[in-house]
Amino acid sequence: LTLILSAAFVMRVAGIHYGLPYIYHQDEPMMVNHALAIGTGDWNTHYFVIPPFVSYFLFFVYAVFFIAGRVLGLFESSGDFLLFYLKDPTAFYVLGRFFIGTLFGTATVAVVYAAGKRFFSKDAGTAAAIFMAFLPFHVQHSHYIYADIPLTFVLSLVFYVLFCLLEKPSMRNYLVLGALVGWAGGTKYVAAYFLPAVLLAHVFAAPRAWLRFEAWKKILLSGLTALTVFFITAPYTFLDWSSFWGTMKLQSAAEVPTGLSHHFFYSIVGGSGVLFAMLALFGGYVLATKYRRIFWVIAAGGISYYAVSAYFSQHFARYMLPLTPLLCWCVGAGWERLSQHLKKPASGFLLALVLLILAVPAVYSDALFFKEDTRTACLRWFEKNVHYGAVVAIDNRF
C-alpha cells in the first residue's frame, strides 16, 4: 500500500508547476481569486456555478501561508500579500494544486484500496488501488485546482459508508453518510445524481422493515445531517437564494445533451483504455453474481449519474471522474476473478498489461506538464521578434 500511495502521489505532484506564472487552465482562477477575495471579509463568493467548498478550503490554505509569511518576514501586511500574488501567482497556484489536486487525488486511492480490501478481498482492493493510482484522466486532472478531484474523493467515502450500511444499518452509519452526502453536495451539485444509490442502500439495509418508522427515522436524520453540512459548506446557497437561483438558470443553458455514447467512448475509454473498460464490464458481472447488493448500489449510482450526464452535462472528460472509484472496484473484482482461473504468470501478465496501458499515457501526461507550454513558447517568440509599435492582426477575438 505504501508503494501504491507513493506512486499515486508522485504521479499527481509531478509537474504541478506547469505553465506558471501564466495561467492556462480557464477554471483555476475562479477558485483562486474567489478564495483570496474572502480575505476582504466577505464569505459570500458571489459565484454559484459550483458550491464554494474548494474556495473556502483554499482560503484557509492561503491564510496559513499568509501567517507563515508574516512570521518569516515575507509580508508586512495584507497589501504586501496581495502585491506578492499580483507580481507572481506561482506560489498560490502550486499550493492550490497540491492541496486540491495532489492530496485529494492520492487520498482517493487510499479509500479505493480500503473499500476493496474490506468488502471484496485484499487482492481486489490492491488491484483497484493500483489502477486508480495510474488512471490517466484522474492523474491529469489531479494537477488542477477545481472541484472534480475533491468531489471524487468525497464520493468514494460516500460509497464506502453505503457498503458499511449494507452490513450494519446503525444510526452512526446513517449520520456519517448524511455528513458525507452534504459535503459532496457542497463540493459540486452533481453529487445529487448519486442519490438513487443512497435510497437503494437504505432499502437493502432493512429489506423487511425499510418502510417502518424506525428505518425512515434514520434516513430522515441522515437527510437533515446532509442539509446541515451542506449549509456549513455552502451557506449562501440559502442566504443569497436569489443570486444562486439566477445563476442556476443561466448555467443550465451551458448544460447540453452529450448523447449516451459520448462519455463512454471519449471520457471513460479515452481516459483509461479499451482493456480497462472491458475489465470493468466483466467486473460488474462478477459483482452482480458474488456481491449482489453492492453491485446494485454501485449500478444505481453509476447509471443515474451517467444517464443525467448524457442529457444534461458538458462534453469534458472530467465529468466522468466521479465514476472512477466505482470503475476501479469493478476492475479489481474482475481481475481477481480472472486471476483465480489463470496460472500465476498469466494473471501477473494481465495485471502488468493493464497497468502498462494506464501508466504510459499517465506518465506521458506528466512529461507534458514538465515541458514549456506552446503558448509560453509563442510569447517568447513574440517578445523577441515583434517590436513595440508593430501592428498585430487578430483573426478571432474570442
pLDDT tens, residue by residue, 315-326: 999 999 999 999
Q: Which of 204, 203, 209 is nearest to 291 (CA)?
A: 204
What pLDDT, on a 0 to 100 scale, did the predictor assign at position 58? 96
Could you list the beta-strand ranges (E) of the chain.
Answer: none
What pLDDT, on a 0 to 100 scale, did the predictor assign at position 215? 74
Q: What is the pTM of this model?
A: 0.93
What pLDDT, on a 0 to 100 scale, did the predictor assign at position 231? 96
Q: Which of 102, 123, 111, 143 is nearest to 19 (CA)?
A: 143
Q: Which of 217, 152, 158, 148 is nearest to 182 (CA)?
A: 158
What pLDDT, on a 0 to 100 scale, did the predictor assign at position 253? 78
Which amino acid, one-letter code, is at 273? G
Quote the CA–CA distance of 339 and 220 in Å, as a whole number.
Answer: 43
Q: Which of 244, 45, 40, 54 is nearest to 149 (CA)?
A: 54
Q: Which of 243, 237, 320, 334 is nearest to 280 (CA)?
A: 334
Residue 245 DSSP SS3? helix
Taking residues 77-81, report their average pLDDT: 90
Quote the CA–CA distance of 163 and 182 in Å, as a whole number.
Answer: 18
Q: Tens digit of pLDDT for each residue in 119-137?
A: 999 999 999 999 999 999 9
The average confidence (pLDDT) of the chain is 92
Please determine, for residue 211, whether its predicted confidence score (pLDDT) is greater than 80: no
**Whole-number Cα distances in Å, 188 to 141, 170, 336:** 15, 27, 33
Quote the CA–CA distance of 13 and 281 in Å, as a whole number.
Answer: 31
What pLDDT, on a 0 to 100 scale, did the predictor assign at position 270? 92
Please determine, for residue 206, whether its predicted confidence score (pLDDT) is greater than 90: no
What pLDDT, on a 0 to 100 scale, did the predictor assign at position 210? 63
Interacting residues of 148 by C-beta distance below 8 A, sequence separation 6+: 141, 188, 318, 319, 321, 322
Which amino acid, one-letter code, is at 21? P
Cite the DSSP H helix spans in 88-121.
90-96, 104-119
Taking residues 148-166, report their average pLDDT: 96
Answer with the residue of higher pLDDT: 250 or 307: 307
Which residue is listed with cell 501567482?
89
Q: Tens digit of pLDDT for each residue in 293-316?
A: 999 999 999 999 999 999 888 899
Which residue is listed with cell 508522485?
10
What pLDDT, on a 0 to 100 scale, did the predictor assign at position 398? 62
